Amino acid sequence: MANQMVTASGDVVALEPGLKGVTADWSSDQRAFKNVPWGKAMMWIFLVSDTFIFSCFLVSYMTVRISTTVPWPIPSEVFALSFGGEPIPLILIAIMTFILISSSGTMAMAVNFGYRRDRKKTAALMIVTALFGVAFVSMQAFEWTKLIFEEGVRPWGNPMGAAQFGSTFFMITGFHGLHVSVGVIYLTTVAIKVLKGDYEARGNYQIVEITGLYWHFVDLVWVFIFALFYLW
């Protein structure tokens, strides 16, 4: 076995030692991820490219906040809500974060039941995940409305301090909200097709896992936005 290896497909291949063996392996087009479906590979490539975009946004935000000479608004005060008493700091943001993290749990369960070929539970959990996404976007719309109409925050100005606050806030949260909205449509579409049995004929539910990759990415990005924008 010292001069043999097992490939991803289960084939046993003889290994040649030294430079000759390296040359033989390279020329035979050995692939570490030979059996990865194209759909999953393309989703990973998309998510990597999207990671660069969000990273640029967040790094730009941190650079602007550190370099500005005008006082930056305090997030715990800006995003506080009052229910008849003292304002509660970040209460809406905390609920939004809880909802989005909970949606990751329902999405993970949907993938689990998908590989068990349980159509009804898979579709139901995906719809629940999509509803969590709708709730998140609705709360974000409320947050935007409050800032624009009550606080007077604009992308080009901000009565509470640094003008860059508005531009970075609307750019980062808006771009993430767009991803959540697209995810809701994506989840709903796949859930309907799962319920109709479209993937039963194909013999696999990999599309559910691929959809889950996208949704978990959206949730993970929000964790960074929450930490850097609302807690800092």
Q: How confident is the model at residue 105 (pLDDT cuts 50, 70, 90)?
A: very high
CATH code for the structural domain at 38-230: 1.20.120.80
Domain residue ranges of the chain, discontinuous segments joined by +? 1-35, 38-230
- pTM for this one? 0.85
CB burial of residue 100 (10 Å; 0-12, 13-18, 19+): buried
Choose the weakest-confidence range: 31-35, 70-74, 153-157: 31-35
pLDDT for 48-65, tens place per residue? 999 999 999 999 999 999
Q: For residue 201, what are its two tokens? A: 């004929």
